Amino acid sequence: MSNINRNPKLKTLTRWLPGLIISTVAILLLIRFSNWSEVLGVISDIKFAWVLPAIAFFLISVLIRAASWMIILQNKVNYGRVFLTLNEGYLLNNIFPFRLGELGRAYILSQTTILSGFFVLSTIFIERTYDVAIAAGLFLASIPYVFSLEAGQAIAILVFIIGIFALLAMYLLARNHTRIKKFLENVTEGKIFLHDRIVPSFGSILEGLGIFTSFGQFSLSLGLMLISWIFGGLELIFLSKSFGVDLEIWMVGFILGMTSLGIAIPSAPAGLGVFEAAAVGAFSLIGLSTSTGLAIAFVTHFISIFITGLIGMYGIFKDGESITGLYQQLRNLRVFN
């Protein structure tokens, strides 16, 4: 057995490394190619009259996203619980690697409601698939205005197609979940571990896809997610105005799409460095200076981390938990082992 396998801490470190390396490279590039005195000067000239509405739009976006997730959860959890859990997950994502907050959301709801953690995980996967498809769609819709990104267009088309196929696959699984579960029960008959543990867990995952069995509920959840993105776009427009930048609609779609796809790659917690690099790249491609783009990215990222962090911290304390306690619970689920 290797030293890595014998040393859990070393094993955990090796799994952190790819994201840490990517974030470090992104940060080093930002340091190398940014004029920091200029960036600070841009931030110091911010017009707060535009920032306050931007913060309101961000909060509305999160509120609507929670409503979308509640519907994906098939209305089995009340809105207040969903909203707090969503922000608790964001807080964990901003502190720990591997997007641990998504697993944390599943764990928290499994402890505070009657829902299975596997059921919740499948709904989170649906929510994230919505995001990927929307981000790729926005990027594709705006790419004709940015003629130098043929390679980026090919990647966005691929991501969009994968997102659509993922939704289609989940729809087929949801429509046939009873037959699939019965088939698995018959196949694993007599195999105690598979029959009594694995099949019920897989059954919970299939039940979590139930939103696809109701076109009305599916449409409502997707529509709310789209509206949540619209308010995210309004936040970006107003924050840009606070720096004296007026964005056209296609620019907003391009920036949102590029940054969302950018932070999907492994990175340090909170997408540190990677978010800023993706945002600066997007702003640069539409003709904005690196300093202004980086200033907008900093403020946008800070608002997101600060607001979701405050709400998430309140939720964790309200649940009688602690951040370190949740981390240990998630480790005990053998997330890293």
**Quick one: CA torsion of 209, 210, 212, 217, rounded to 10 degrees?**
-130
Query: Which ranges in the chain belong to alpha helices (H)?
Result: 3-6, 8-33, 36-44, 48-72, 79-95, 100-112, 117-142, 150-175, 177-187, 192-193, 199-208, 215-242, 249-262, 274-285, 290-318, 323-332
How high does pLDDT run on average in the chain?
85
pLDDT of residue 182: 83
pLDDT of residue 157: 77
Question: Sign (positive/negative) of CA torsion 66, 68, 73, 78?
Answer: positive
Least confident of 1-15, 72-86, 115-129, 298-312: 1-15
pLDDT of residue 150: 59
pLDDT in tens, 175-193: 887 888 888 777 777 776 6
pLDDT of residue 325: 87
Q: How far apart are CA 117 and CA 190, in angstroms?
A: 25
Whole-prediction pTM value? 0.86
Q: How far apart are CA 143 and CA 6, in angstroms?
A: 49
Of the pLDDT bands very low, low, confident and very high (cuts 50, 70, 90), residue 335 is very low
Q: How far apart are CA 232 and CA 61, in angstroms?
A: 6
Least confident of 9-23, 99-113, 156-170, 281-295: 9-23
pLDDT in tens, 193-212: 666 677 777 788 888 888 99
pLDDT of residue 15: 61
pLDDT of residue 57: 98
* Cβ atoms of 55 and 283 closer than 8 Å: no
In this predicted structure, the answer to whether residue 65 has a pLDDT above a threshold of 50 is yes
In this predicted structure, the answer to whether residue 271 has a pLDDT above a threshold of 50 is yes
Residue 148, judged by CB atoms within 10 A of its CB (0-12, 13-18, 19+), counts as exposed
Least Cα distance to 237 among 250, 246, 228 occurs for: 246
Of the pLDDT bands very low, low, confident and very high (cuts 50, 70, 90), residue 336 is very low
pLDDT of residue 175: 84
pLDDT of residue 312: 96
Of the pLDDT bands very low, low, confident and very high (cuts 50, 70, 90), residue 266 is low
pLDDT of residue 2: 47
Least Cα distance to 303 among 57, 47, 46, 55 occurs for: 55
Choose between 210 and 69: higher pLDDT: 69
Of the pLDDT bands very low, low, confident and very high (cuts 50, 70, 90), residue 158 is confident
